[in-house]
Chain A
Amino acid sequence: MGFLVSFSFFFLAMVINQSTVVGQTTAESVIEFPKNDIRDIREVITRNTTLSSQMAVKNDILVISLSRKNAVVWYDPPQIENNHTVIKNISYNNGVTEFNENWTAL
């Protein structure tokens, strides 16, 4: 009887012991997800659709993203479809995470 009870204690202790490692690795993968980078890129791309210097801003974003943020960014020039501004093929890739979106203005 004591033998069987000790087996159950052992199993519970094993579960609690491994939970630390599981929690840490899960938290690490959440931390390295570039949520703020992607939101920031989306904001600067979609907020500036009426600029006159689209090419200069686009080259700024592409070159600085690659050299300073180690991320490949792309987006098609803004177009008008059905009276909405549309930016197709917004892409972000930092080597670990990829993000793709076709954006339509409200």
Chain B
Amino acid sequence: MTNTDGQLYTIEGFAAALIMIATAYLVVNATSIYTAGDTHISDMQLEALGTDALKVMNIPVSKDEPSMMQEIIKATPSSGGNNLEFGTNFSYLINNKTGQNSDHIQFSATYTCRNSDNSTASIPLSYSRNLSGGEHAVRVTKWVTVNKGGVAFCGTTNTERAVLVEVLMWRD
């Protein structure tokens, strides 16, 4: 007449329902939302773009000629400046997109020198915009060897020296 068969049936139904709800929750929770903690993804893309552009600018046309980057550093005075050749070439390389419109990535470039007392000094090389401090910027670097002949460079003359060109890049 009355027995306990239905109890097992009911419990099984409850358990299956709970498992299905947990599954649905896991599925919905698997979507990833792009948060402030994920900025390293777009930062890496910007870094790759910058290092490629700097590498292209440091390749000479033929073996015994100086590269564009070496000539740019030679032409920049020791107190620094806003080198137009660096600005136009670097900006073209990083902002070039397929099609008509170009990107708006800004940059601020310096190069670092080693002084005779083993301290380092950064000399401004070029900038597309003044840094205001609120930009989310990435830094890309490139080693360049330069000999400025008779002009004093990093405290020496007629010596080949290695400097590190550093560029801060950010999106507007």
Q: Do A and B come from one complex?
A: yes
> Chain A: residues with CB nearer than 8 A to chain B?
2-3, 6-7, 9-10, 12-14, 16-17, 19-20, 24, 27-28, 31, 36-37, 40-41, 43-44, 47-48, 51-53, 56-57, 59-61, 63-65, 67-69
Asked if B101 CB lies within 8 Å of chain A CBs, one says: no
14 A-B pairs within 8 Å (CB atoms) are namely A6-B19, A6-B20, A7-B19, A9-B20, A12-B23, A13-B22, A16-B30, A17-B29, A40-B142, A44-B144, A53-B160, A56-B156, A56-B161, A64-B164
A residues less than 8 Å from B166 (CB atoms): 68
> Chain B: residues with CB nearer than 8 A to chain A?
12, 15-16, 19-20, 22-24, 26-27, 29-30, 32, 38, 40-41, 44, 47-48, 51, 112, 114, 118, 120, 140-145, 154, 156, 159-164, 166
B141 and A68 contact, CB distance less than 8 A: yes
A3 and B15 contact, CB distance less than 8 A: yes
Looking across the interface, which residue of chain B has its beta carbon closest to that of A9?
B23
B residues less than 8 Å from A51 (CB atoms): 145, 160
What 4 new A-B contacts, CB under 8 Å, besides A53-B159, A56-B160, A64-B120? Answer: A17-B27, A44-B145, A48-B145, A64-B164
Looking across the interface, which residue of chain A has its beta carbon closest to that of B143?
A44
A64 and B19 contact, CB distance less than 8 A: no
Least CB distance from B70 to A in Å reads 12
